[in-house]
Amino acid sequence: MSTTFSLDEIIQANQFHTLSQKSLQQELRVHEKLGVYFPNQGLTAVMLTYERYKALLERLTELEDALENAELSQEYGERPQTPDDM
Protein backbone atom coordinates (compact mmCIF):
# COMPACT_ATOMS: atom_id res chain seq x y z
CA MET A 1 0.00 0.00 0.00
CA SER A 2 1.24 3.45 -0.88
CA THR A 3 0.72 6.79 0.88
CA THR A 4 -0.15 8.48 -2.39
CA PHE A 5 -3.70 8.56 -3.73
CA SER A 6 -4.87 8.41 -7.30
CA LEU A 7 -7.76 10.69 -8.30
CA ASP A 8 -10.22 7.78 -8.23
CA GLU A 9 -9.22 7.04 -4.61
CA ILE A 10 -10.18 10.53 -3.40
CA ILE A 11 -13.69 11.44 -2.35
CA GLN A 12 -14.69 15.06 -1.84
CA ALA A 13 -16.16 15.54 1.64
CA ASN A 14 -19.28 17.17 0.20
CA GLN A 15 -19.98 14.01 -1.85
CA PHE A 16 -20.87 11.95 1.21
CA HIS A 17 -24.46 13.13 1.34
CA THR A 18 -25.02 11.87 -2.23
CA LEU A 19 -22.94 8.71 -1.96
CA SER A 20 -24.92 5.57 -1.19
CA GLN A 21 -23.68 2.97 1.25
CA LYS A 22 -23.65 0.42 -1.56
CA SER A 23 -21.43 2.54 -3.80
CA LEU A 24 -19.10 3.32 -0.88
CA GLN A 25 -18.74 -0.40 -0.13
CA GLN A 26 -18.06 -1.03 -3.82
CA GLU A 27 -15.35 1.65 -3.88
CA LEU A 28 -13.68 0.08 -0.83
CA ARG A 29 -13.71 -3.32 -2.56
CA VAL A 30 -12.10 -1.85 -5.69
CA HIS A 31 -9.51 0.34 -3.91
CA GLU A 32 -7.46 -0.63 -0.88
CA LYS A 33 -7.86 2.87 0.54
CA LEU A 34 -10.00 5.96 0.01
CA GLY A 35 -8.99 9.47 0.96
CA VAL A 36 -11.49 12.08 2.10
CA TYR A 37 -10.66 15.56 0.85
CA PHE A 38 -11.87 18.66 2.69
CA PRO A 39 -11.43 21.85 0.63
CA ASN A 40 -10.15 24.00 3.50
CA GLN A 41 -7.86 21.36 5.00
CA GLY A 42 -6.85 19.03 2.18
CA LEU A 43 -6.70 15.27 2.51
CA THR A 44 -7.64 14.69 6.15
CA ALA A 45 -9.10 11.21 6.45
CA VAL A 46 -8.50 7.76 5.06
CA MET A 47 -10.99 4.92 4.86
CA LEU A 48 -9.99 1.26 4.78
CA THR A 49 -11.88 -1.98 5.04
CA TYR A 50 -11.93 -3.33 8.58
CA GLU A 51 -9.91 -6.37 7.45
CA ARG A 52 -7.15 -4.15 6.07
CA TYR A 53 -7.22 -1.95 9.18
CA LYS A 54 -6.99 -5.00 11.46
CA ALA A 55 -4.09 -6.43 9.41
CA LEU A 56 -2.23 -3.12 9.64
CA LEU A 57 -2.68 -2.96 13.41
CA GLU A 58 -1.51 -6.56 13.82
CA ARG A 59 1.57 -5.85 11.71
CA LEU A 60 2.27 -2.66 13.66
CA THR A 61 2.09 -4.64 16.92
CA GLU A 62 4.54 -7.21 15.51
CA LEU A 63 6.96 -4.46 14.48
CA GLU A 64 6.69 -2.71 17.85
CA ASP A 65 7.44 -6.00 19.62
CA ALA A 66 10.41 -6.66 17.34
CA LEU A 67 11.74 -3.15 18.00
CA GLU A 68 11.35 -3.58 21.75
CA ASN A 69 13.17 -6.92 21.60
CA ALA A 70 15.98 -5.40 19.54
CA GLU A 71 16.34 -2.48 21.95
CA LEU A 72 16.42 -4.82 24.98
CA SER A 73 18.92 -7.06 23.24
CA GLN A 74 21.12 -4.07 22.43
CA GLU A 75 20.90 -2.71 25.97
CA TYR A 76 21.32 -5.95 27.91
CA GLY A 77 22.90 -8.31 25.40
CA GLU A 78 21.57 -11.67 24.34
CA ARG A 79 19.88 -13.93 26.86
CA PRO A 80 21.82 -17.08 27.60
CA GLN A 81 20.19 -20.21 26.18
CA THR A 82 19.58 -22.80 28.90
CA PRO A 83 18.32 -26.36 28.48
CA ASP A 84 14.60 -26.81 29.07
CA ASP A 85 15.12 -29.57 31.67
CA MET A 86 16.93 -27.37 34.19
pLDDT, tens digit (0-9, with 9 covering 90-100), for 1-11: 778 888 989 99
* Residues 37, 44: Cα–Cα separation, whole Å: 6
Is the pLDDT score of 86 beyond 70? Answer: no
Predicted pLDDT at 47: 92
pTM of the model: 0.67
* Residues 12, 14: Cα–Cα separation, whole Å: 5
Tell me the DSSP string of the chain. Answer: --S---GGGEEEGGGTTT--HHHHHHHHHHSS-EEEEETTTEEEEEE--HHHHHHHHHHHHHHHHHHHHHHHHHHH-PPPP--TT-
Mean pLDDT of 25-32: 90
Q: How confident is the model at residue 80 (pLDDT cuts 50, 70, 90)?
A: low
